[in-house]
Structure 1
Amino acid sequence: MKQNNVLLASLILIMSMSAFAKVDDLKQEVKIKAVSQTADIKNNQVIFFGPVEVTQGSIKIIADQLRAFSAEGESSKTLVATGNPATYTQVLDDGRPASASAKEISYNMASRTLTLKGLASLDQAGSQVRGNLIRYDIIQQKLIAESTGSGDDRVITIIQPESYQDDIKPGTSTDKPVKKQGSK
């Protein structure tokens, strides 16, 4: 019974991570593909070994390992995807792609916080934030990005002009060759 609770909790976590995805994604099944999995009932966790692929509608998580757990005596559930890097992609309601990558992608269900650690990158409609650590509070819609503070390691933010974002339509590529005037 407890193993079923852990499995159910892991699926709920994955579905919760999609809080800012397309509405239709939330109605889709969650599918986890892995090479193997273990359930550590004593420690209330499920670990999927990879490569691991999680899909729900347009949401896709790729990782080397995925761990779903809750701390002893707490109802707070956490999902941690690790990889070199682990990636998270989705299509937003407006049809534009969003993606994240880091060595570790963690989602805390109670605080509704997404944390990217290690070579973290968050990309939406061509604009990007990169740093060593990125935290996104889904409820308050607040983003905090940090660097290690050493050497040239800095938080980098790239914001595309509105005309760039208007030019990107769902399903189109920005890598099309530009036709020169007068050419056929």
Structure 2
Amino acid sequence: MSHINRLHTRANVMLLSSILCLLSLPAMAKQGDLKQELKIVAVSQFADIKNNQIIFNGPVKIVQGSININADELRAFTPENSTSKKLIATGKPATFSQELDDGQIGTASADEISYDLATTTLTLTGNAKLNQSGSQVTGNRIKYNINAQELIAESSGTGQDRVITIIQPENFQDESAPKQKLPEIPVKKQIKP
């Protein structure tokens, strides 16, 4: 492989690495994950230098700290006539998980998980599910803009398909905390004649 091709391949791998680093949603980000090495395990890899694209065929497993992505195929590329970088993981389903700072696991799954670096938008398409701290959003398509912190969930609009959101109740009082004693209310005594 020529020196130029090695530089292009290294640039593509660095592009893929930076895209994967940005996949972690702020609410899901574990502090040390983005400083860990990125490891991609696949059955095969094809680098199309001319079209600035890397295709990993699978099963594909990506690990960076507590971030885990599993897919049948992973593509990292720059669309034609664009400066935007994209990552698309496909599978039945493709899955994403990351340990939260509180030790819980946040997960996402869909037939396709797409990330656009320029718009910082994560799009889950086809049987999309997003789970965090026991709460869940499901739909045909879930789009999350990381910078704007905006989430849009949509159904396919056919049949009984609907967006479903399940929110778990929060614990408002820690059961191990000492019980607070209510203040006593003074009662006036009546004197009988």
Band of TM-score, shorter chain: 0.7 to 0.9
Cα offsets for 1:35-68 (capped at 9, x unmatched): 1100011211000000000011110000000000
Alignment of 1:33-182 (within 5 A): 33-163=41-171
Question: C-alpha deviations, 1:55-87, integer Å up to 9, x for none?
Answer: 111100000000000123533111100000000
22-31 or 155-164: which moved more? 155-164
Give the TM-score of the pair, scaled to structure 1: 0.85
Q: Shift of residue 91 of structure 1?
A: 1.0
Partners of 1:147 and 1:11 lie apart in 2 by 32
| Higher alpha-carbon Rg | 2
Say whether residues 1:13 and 2:39 are aligned partners: no
Secondary structure (helix, strand or coil) at the match of 1:117 reads strand
Instruction: Work out the CA distance in 1 between the residues paired with 2:126 and 2:25.
Output: 23
Task: Give, as a single letter, the amino acid of the residue that structure 2 aligns with 1:162.
Answer: E
1:10 deviation in Å? 1.1
Q: Name whichever structure is richer in helix by fraction.
A: 1
Matched residues in 2 for 1:96 and 1:76: separation?
32
* 3-state SS of paired residue (1:144): strand
RMSD of Structure 2 on Structure 1 (CA): 1.6
Q: Partners in 2 of 1:19 and 1:126 — Cα distance?
A: 16
**C-alpha separation in 2, matches of 1:153 and 1:72:** 34
| Residues in 1 aligned to 2:22 and 2:153: alpha-carbon distance in whole angstroms | 22
Aligned to 2:58, what secondary structure does the other structure show?
A: strand
State the 1:94 CA deviation.
2.5
Alignment of 1:4 with 2:20, yes or no, is no
Q: Deviations 1:80-128 (Å, cap 9, x if unpaired)? A: 0000000000012222210000000001111111000000000001100
Alignment-derived partner of residue 31 in structure 1? 39
What residue is the counterpart of 1:176 in the other structure?
A: none
The residue type equivalent to 1:22 in the other structure is: K
Task: Return 5+ residue gaps in structure 2 as ranges.
Answer: 1-6, 176-193
Q: Structure 2 length as normaliser, TM-score? A: 0.82
User: How many residues get paired?
Assistant: 166
Instruction: In structure 1, list runs of 5 or more residues that go unmatched.
Output: 168-184
SS in structure 1 opposite 2:160? coil
Quote the sequence identity (%).
Answer: 58
